[in-house]
Amino acid sequence: MAKSALHEAPATTRKAAETVLSLVDVSKTFGSVRAVDRVSIDVNEGEVLTLLGPSGCGKTTTLRMVIGLERCTEGEIVYQGRVVDSARSHMHVPTHKRNMGMVFQSYAIWPHMTVFENVAYPLRIRNVKGDRVRDEVRRVLELVGLGGLEQRPATMLSGGQQQRVALARSLVFEPKILLLDEPFSNLDAKLREQMRAELRILQRRLGITVLFVTHDQIEALSLSDRIAVMNAGRVEQIGTPEELYLQPQSPVVRDFLGKTIVLSGQVTQKLGGRRLAVALLTGEWGELVAGADDAENFDLGQDCYLAIRPEQVQVEPSDGGHGTVAMHNQVEGVIEALLFIGERYEARIALPWGESILVYLEPNMPWQENERVTVTFPAEQVRVWRA
């Protein structure tokens, strides 16, 4: 504890990924429901790994198994080289012996204690004595920006302050890993952004390993070194935020991270390399050129989907002209609805075959509703998915 995690970690000493926590084929069944299904994740030292998914996807259950509030029904969990939960050998280290820090969704600040008493609690359990307790608590409160509030009753804290106390309490005993269960969901939007940035800075300074659970893709993308997208109890994909956003491996990941425009089509031609020509199913509007990693594995005539992010769609005022997509992946459309949301416009554009898509428009142009526009789907951004 002498070389404390509260002291800043010099960036240079960060070693190549050492595994702090491993989940090996972990499953959890409640009755007949398989809440978590053969999840395997390694959390490396110093990284922020996020479990991201919609509610009910098993991410919180996974976190609760890591801290020991639930037992896994299959597989095992290894923390710092020690099996802490194993379905096979009936090994189970109870929560209070795991030495992991955790910030709960509700913060769980004990209302009958002061800020000091809340934060000192884990130290008292570890038999830290008088002056040491005061020093450690003061240091960690300074760290989370609550210096001087030691004697404040916990009931007289704002939401953001409560969260800082919860953070201080989970850091004060210098755990190797910090678990965060939707820590920002009870804050208002502005505070949420501020706390997100502060948490990122704090994590970088301490170099602490973080396992973070959230359903908010913005939080996940902005805070994580790696993200594990979960769905229906399973891990769909693990990777860096950029990998997941740009190269989603499954429709679930694609649709959960960011917005996606999806069009139905049929493969008509292989253009070599990663490129395919796809006919839109909605009529004789021509073909789009799109890409797929395994383009050669598609069959001609195969049903497929075309997916593109709205921000990758290019929209320009129409110069009149073509009514089909035949040329350069371009099509004529009409702006149906135009919403100004500050840094940009959100527009629904009706395509000639009746479908509408949501795209983003630059704010510094005089867009009008009912205006005719040219919509371009850049071939290198459109991905082909199997139907």
Partner 1 sequence: MATASTTIATRPAAPALWQRMRPDTMFLIGTILLGLIGFIVLYPIILLAINSFNVAPFGRAEAWGLDNWQAVFSQPRIVQALKNTLTLALVRQSIALVIGVMLAWILARTNLPGRRWLELCFWFALLLPVLPVLMGWILLLDGHHGLLIQAIRQVIPGFSFDIYSWWGIVVAHLMINLIPLKVFLLTPAFRNMDSSLEEASRTAGAGTLRTLFKVVIPIMTPTIAFITLLGIIRSMQSLEIELVLGGAAKIDVYSTLIYRQVLQSPPEYGKATALSMVVLAAMVPVIALQQWMVNRRNYTTVSGKYTNRLYDLGALKWPVFGIFVLLLAFIIVIPVVMMFLGTFMKVYPQFDLPDPWTLNNWARIIKEPTLIKALVNTLTIAFGATLLALFLFTLVAYVSVRTRYVGRKPLDFLTWLPSTVPGIVTSLGLLWLVLKTPIFRPLYGTTWILIIALGFAGMTLGVQLIKSSLLQLGAELEEASWASGAGRFFTLRRVLLPLIAPTMAVVALQTFAAASSAVSLVALLGSANNKPLSLLQLEYIDTGLFEAASVIGVIIFMLSVGAAIIARTLSMRMGLGRFEQANTGR
Least spacing, CB of residue 209 vs partner 1, in Å: 14
Is there a contact between 51 and 220 (Cβ–Cβ < 8 Å)? no
- Of the two residues 69 and 339, which places its CB atom closer to partner 1 in the complex? 69
H-run or E-run covering 141: helix 130-143
Interaction of residue 29 with partner 1, rule CB under 8 A? no
Helices (H), 144-211: 159-171, 189-206
- Of the two residues 120 and 315, which places its CB atom closer to partner 1 in the complex? 120
Site string for partner 1, 360-379 (x = CB under 8 A): --------------------
Is there a contact between 368 and 361 (Cβ–Cβ < 8 Å)? no
Least spacing, CB of residue 163 vs partner 1, in Å: 13
- Which of 4, 29, 99, 318 is close enough to bind partner 1 by CB under 8 A? 99
Task: Tally the C-alpha atoms within 13 A of residue 140's C-alpha that lie toward its C-beta.
Answer: 27
Three-state DSSP at 77 gives strand
Looking at the chain, how many residues does it have? 387
- Which of 1, 8, 25, 283 is close enough to bind partner 1 by CB under 8 A? 25
Residue in 332, 330, 325, 5 with CA at minimum distance from that of residue 172? 5
Is there a contact between 321 and 330 (Cβ–Cβ < 8 Å)? no
- Which of 12, 16, 55, 96 is close enough to bind partner 1 by CB under 8 A? 96
- Which of 1, 7, 33, 110 is close enough to bind partner 1 by CB under 8 A? 110
- Which of 126, 132, 259, 328 is close enough to bind partner 1 by CB under 8 A? 126
Task: Tally the C-alpha atoms within 13 A of residue 301's C-alpha that lie toward its C-beta.
Answer: 0
Is there a contact between 178 and 101 (Cβ–Cβ < 8 Å)? yes
Interaction of residue 245 with partner 1, rule CB under 8 A? no
Measured CA to CA, the distance from residue 286 to residue 323 in angstroms comes to: 10
- Of the two residues 21 and 347, which places its CB atom closer to partner 1 in the complex? 21
Least spacing, CB of residue 295 vs partner 1, in Å: 23
- Of the two residues 40 and 269, which places its CB atom closer to partner 1 in the complex? 40
Residue ranges in 203-232 that form contacts with partner 1 under rule CB under 8 A = 228
Judged by CB under 8 A, the number of residues near partner 1 is 53
Interaction of residue 95 with partner 1, rule CB under 8 A? yes
Residue ranges in 145-204 that form contacts with partner 1 under rule CB under 8 A = 153, 155-156, 166, 169-170, 173, 179
Measured CA to CA, the distance from residue 351 to residue 283 in angstroms comes to: 12
- Of the two residues 12 and 55, which places its CB atom closer to partner 1 in the complex? 55
The Cα-based distances of 242 to 83, 177, 218, 223, 245 in angstroms read 32, 24, 12, 12, 5
The Cα-based distances of 181 to 79, 133, 225 in angstroms read 18, 27, 17
Supply φ then ψ for residue 263, to 5 degrees: -125, 145
Residues facing 277 on adjacent strands: 269, 289
- Which of 40, 247, 368, 370 is close enough to bind partner 1 by CB under 8 A? 40
Interaction of residue 67 with partner 1, rule CB under 8 A? yes
- Of the two residues 76 and 136, which places its CB atom closer to partner 1 in the complex? 76
Least spacing, CB of residue 145 vs partner 1, in Å: 20
Least spacing, CB of residue 198 vs partner 1, in Å: 21
- Of the two residues 44 and 312, which places its CB atom closer to partner 1 in the complex? 44
- Which of 4, 9, 22, 73 is close enough to bind partner 1 by CB under 8 A? 22
Task: Tally the C-alpha atoms within 13 A of residue 315's C-alpha that lie toward its C-beta.
Answer: 28
Buried (b) or exposed (e) across 240-271, using 16+ Cβ within 10 A? ebeebbeebeebbbbebbbebbebebbbeeee
* Token pair listed for 278: 């796809």
- Of the two residues 104 and 285, which places its CB atom closer to partner 1 in the complex? 104
Piece in contact with partner 1 (CB under 8 A), picked from 98-106, 139-147, 278-286, 379-387: 98-106
* Token pair listed for 17: 């990924």
Positions that interact with partner 1 (CB under 8 A)? 19, 22-25, 40-42, 67-69, 76, 78, 81-83, 89-91, 94-102, 104-108, 110-112, 121-122, 125-126, 153, 155-156, 166, 169-170, 173, 179, 228, 235, 237-239
